[in-house]
C-alpha cells in the first residue's frame, strides 16, 4: 500500500482513518480474496454509511471467497480516495462498483471517474482502466445514462445470479473477460426477498450509531408520483421473530434501532415491535410513517425514545390533489394523526408536501396553509413544512408529465411563505435548481446522455446543459399540457 507523500493526501488519509476508527463492526468482515472490488457510494460518508446498500454489498461481496470488497465514499475534497477498510488507494482496485440511488449522485460518479482520467463513456475505455459496475435504486427506473457509463449495469436488487457471476471472476482475467463474465442478459430488475441490516454502526452516520434493520421492501400503495410502488417489486417483509431476535442479539452493543421500509407502518407487526422496544427500553426510530396507519403504541415507543417530533406525509395539499396522487388519505386521517401526536406528548410535527404539479391550482396550495395553521391551533409549538416540487419519474403513471417551470414554482413558494409567516411555523423548500437537475437526469435519453458525458469529460459545468434538456423534455410534452389537466383535475 502506498503511503501519502504530500500534505493534501496525508490530510485525506488522516480523515478516513479517523472516521474508520469510530466505527463498531457488528459482524466480522475479514476477506482475503484476490479479486479486489471497490464499493463506492457516490455521496458523503455520513449519507453512505447510513445506506443499507453499503452494508449489504460489503457483507455479500465478501462472502464470495475469491472477492475482497472495500468501502469508498465521495468527497469533493478527496483526490486519492482511500479505502475505509484498509486505507488502500482506489486506483489499486480492479473493479469499481458504484451504488447509485439518487439522480444527483450521478454527477459525483462523473467527478470520481474524471479525477482518475477514466473515460466516462464505457466504449472509450481500454484494458488498463477499471471495470465500472453500476447498481442501486436508479437502475429500477432510469437506465439510459447508466448504460452509457457502466461496463456492467445490474438492475434491481442484489441477486444470487449476480453474485454467481462475480464468483466466476478470476483476478488473472483481462478487463474484457471480467466484463463478459459479469454481464447478464437480464432485462427487468431483479427482486430479492433477502432484507438487509447494519454490518457496522458509526456516530458519524446521519442516523448516528443506530443499528438499522430493513423490515420491508417494495410497496403496495401505488402512489402515482412514487417509483417504489411501481418499480420496486411486490411488498416483502421480515418476519416478526427474526426482527425481534436481531434486536436482542445486537442489544449488548447498542440499544438504538432504526427500522427501514418504504412505509414502516405497512409492516404487519409494527405494533408488536414497538411494544418490544418499550418493554426492553430500546430507542426506536423509523424511516417513514403512513399517517393513516399510526397507532398509540408506535407513537409511544417513539416518544419514549426521546424523539421530540414526528413526521407525516399528507403529500397533497387538498383532497383533490391527494386523490390525483392516489394517496388514499383523507382530511380526517390528517386530523386524527395530528390528534394522536398531541395525545402522545409531541409538540413538534413535520409534514411533507408535494407542490407544483401541472394540474395543481392556488386553491390546492391554500389547503397546505390551512393544515399548518390547524396544527398550530391544536397546540403544536413547532410546525415544519417540507415542500418538494413534483418531479415526474419514469416508471410511474406521471412519467409523461411535464415538470412545472422553476419560475412558477418560485412564485408558488413565495405565496405560501407570505401566508405562513407565523411564529412556530418553519418552511423548508427543496432546492428548485437541484429538482430540475433531478428531472433532467431521471428522464434523459441515450443520445442526450452521450452528449452530456462529452461536455462533463471536458470539464464543462453540466448544469446549463441539464437545464436546457429539462426544457426540451417539457416542450415535447405539450400534448399532455393540452389534455392532461382534464384527466387529473378531478373537476
Domain boundaries, the chain: 7-182, 343-355+374-491
pLDDT band at 1 (very low <50, low <70, confident <90, very high): low
Separation between Cα atoms, residue 272 and residue 277, nearest integer Å: 9
pLDDT band at 152 (very low <50, low <70, confident <90, very high): very high
pLDDT band at 30 (very low <50, low <70, confident <90, very high): confident
- Tell me: pLDDT of 102 over 70: yes
Q: What is the pLDDT of residue 488?
A: 57
User: Which residues are within 8 A (CB) of 432 and not within 5 positions of it... i.e. 6 or more apart?
Assistant: 389, 406, 409, 410, 413
Residue keyed to cell 430479492: 192
- Tell me: pLDDT of 490 over 70: no
Total-model pTM = 0.94
- Tell me: pLDDT of 32 over 90: no
Phi, psi of 322 (to 5 degrees): -65, -35
User: Which residues are within 8 A (CB) of 431 and not within 5 positions of it... i.e. 6 or more apart?
Assistant: none
Separation between Cα atoms, residue 157 and residue 175, nearest integer Å: 25
pLDDT band at 308 (very low <50, low <70, confident <90, very high): confident
Interhelix angle 240-250/270-280, rounded to 10 degrees, is 20
DSSP class of residue 157?
A: S
pLDDT band at 90 (very low <50, low <70, confident <90, very high): very high
Separation between Cα atoms, residue 384 and residue 364, nearest integer Å: 19
β-strand partners of 97: 39, 133
Q: Are 326 and 224 in contact (CB under 8 A)?
A: yes
279 exposure class (CB count in 10 Å sphere: 0-12, 13-18, 19+): exposed
3-state secondary structure (DSSP) of residue 25: strand
> Which range among 9-13, 34-38, 150-154 shows the weakest confidence by mean pLDDT?
9-13
The grid cell for 272 is: 408488536
Q: What is the pLDDT of residue 479?
A: 67
Q: Does domain 7-182 match CATH 1.10.3470?
A: no
- Tell me: pLDDT of 334 over 90: yes
The grid cell for 466 is: 441539464
Rounded to the nearest integer, the mean pLDDT of the chain is 93
Q: Are 268 and 254 in contact (CB under 8 A)?
A: no
Amino acid at each position: 500500500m502506498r503511503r501519502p507523500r504530500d500534505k493534501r493526501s496525508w490530510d485525506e488519509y488522516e480523515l478516513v482513518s479517523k472516521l474508520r476508527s469510530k466505527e463498531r463492526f457488528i459482524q466480522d468482515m475479514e476477506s482475503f480474496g484476490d479479486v479486489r472490488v471497490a464499493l463506492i457510494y457516490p455521496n458523503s460518508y455520513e449519507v453512505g454509511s447510513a445506506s443499507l446498500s453499503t452494508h449489504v454489498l460489503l457483507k455479500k461481496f465478501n462472502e464470495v471467497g475469491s472477492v475482497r470488497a472495500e468501502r469508498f465514499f465521495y468527497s469533493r475534497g478527496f483526490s486519492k480516495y482511500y479505502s475505509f477498510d484498509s486505507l488502500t488507494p482506489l486506483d489499486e482496485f480492479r473493479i469499481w462498483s458504484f451504488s447509485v440511488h439518487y439522480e444527483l449522485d450521478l454527477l459525483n460518479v462523473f467527478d470520481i471517474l474524471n479525477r482518475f482520467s477514466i473515460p466516462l463513456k464505457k466504449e472509450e475505455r481500454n484494458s488498463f482502466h477499471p471495470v465500472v459496475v453500476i447498481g442501486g435504486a436508479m437502475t429500477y427506473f432510469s437506465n439510459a445514462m447508466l448504460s452509457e457509463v457502466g461496463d456492467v449495469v445490474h438492475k434491481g436488487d442484489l441477486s444470487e445470479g449476480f453474485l454467481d457471476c462475480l464468483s466466476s471472476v478470476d483476478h488473472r482475467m483481462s478487463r474484457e473477460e471480467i466484463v463478459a463474465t459479469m454481464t447478464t442478459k437480464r432485462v427487468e430488475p431483479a427482486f430479492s426477498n433477502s432484507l438487509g441490516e447494519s454490518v457496522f454502526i458509526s456516530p458519524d452516520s446521519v442516523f448516528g450509531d443506530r443499528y438499522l434493520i430493513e423490515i420491508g421492501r417494495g410497496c403496495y400503495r401505488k402512489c402515482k408520483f412514487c417509483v417504489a410502488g411501481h418499480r420496486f417489486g411486490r411488498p416483502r417483509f421480515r418476519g416478526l421473530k427474526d426482527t425481534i431476535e436481531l434486536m436482542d442479539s445486537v442489544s449488548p452493543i447498542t440499544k438504538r434501532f432504526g427500522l427501514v421500509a418504504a412505509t414502516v407502518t405497512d409492516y404487519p407487526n409494527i405494533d408488536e415491535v414497538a411494544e418490544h422496544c418499550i418493554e426492553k427500553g430500546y430507542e426506536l426510530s423509523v424511516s417513514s410513517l403512513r399517517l393513516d396507519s399510526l397507532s398509540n403504541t408506535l407513537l409511544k415507543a417513539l416518544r419514549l425514545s426521546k424523539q421530540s417530533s414526528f413526521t407525516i406525509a399528507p403529500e397533497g395539499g387538498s383532497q383533490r390533489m391527494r386523490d390525483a396522487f392516489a394517496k388514499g388519505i383523507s382530511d380526517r386521517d390528517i386530523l386524527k394523526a395530528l390528534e394522536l401526536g398531541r395525545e402522545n406528548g409531541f409538540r413538534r410535527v413535520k409534514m411533507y408536501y408535494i407542490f407544483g404539479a401541472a394540474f395543481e391550482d392556488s386553491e390546492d396550495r391554500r389547503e397546505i396553509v390551512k393544515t399548518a395553521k390547524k396544527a398550530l391551533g391544536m397546540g403544536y409549538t413547532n410546525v415544519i413544512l417540507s415542500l418538494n416540487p413534483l418531479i415526474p419519474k419514469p416508471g410511474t403513471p406521471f412519467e409523461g408529465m411535464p415538470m412545472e417551470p422553476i419560475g412558477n414554482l418560485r412564485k408558488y413558494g413565495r405565496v405560501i411563505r407570505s401566508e405562513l409567516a407565523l411564529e412556530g411555523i418553519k418552511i423548508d423548500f427543496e432546492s428548485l435548481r437541484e429538482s430540475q437537475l433531478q428531472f433532467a437526469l431521471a428522464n434523459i435519453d441515450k443520445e442526450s446522455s452521450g452528449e452530456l458525458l462529452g461536455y462533463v469529460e471536458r470539464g464543462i459545468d453540466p448544469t446549463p446543459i441539464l437545464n436546457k434538456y429539462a426544457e426540451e423534455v417539457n416542450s415535447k410534452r405539450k400534448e399532455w399540457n393540452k389534455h392532461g389537466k382534464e384527466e387529473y383535475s378531478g373537476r
